[in-house]
Structure 1
Amino acid sequence: MRSDGGKRLAAGGNVGAYIEGVAANLSFSKLFQASADLVSVIREQETEKADGLFSEVQKAYKEVVQGISGLD
């Protein structure tokens, strides 16, 4: 049975994979790459790298949102 930390890590990988797929389908290249990198370290359970990569996902996500907001 997984520990609570293992469950959170698995959930993070699932969410990251969802973001990765959506970003790929919509050609958001930076967001796709950042989320793919994050999913990779989560799946490998390299938790020490996850925080920095999560920051990259956040940055890329904000860029996408700003770009879409500018379409008005």
Structure 2
Amino acid sequence: NRNKLEKTWIETLSELFGDRMFQTTIRYQAKPVEEASLKKSILLEDMTSGVAQDYQALVDELVD
């Protein structure tokens, strides 16, 4: 959830660090994280969740 405080923090950090920040943001969704934990699986194994897609985007950004 991106509330106003989180947006303010992201803007402040972007001003401070500029292009040294990753472009990818990881959203918070408890359900996919809980399910991966209960199944003792890696979150990225189920790419249907938005959170898993966010982490994959971060990995892709790191590789590039």
TM-score by length of 2: 0.32
Which has the greater radius of gyration?
2
Which structure ranks higher in relative contact order (CA pairs < 8 Å, sequence separation ≥ 6)? 2
The answer to which structure has the higher helix fraction is 1
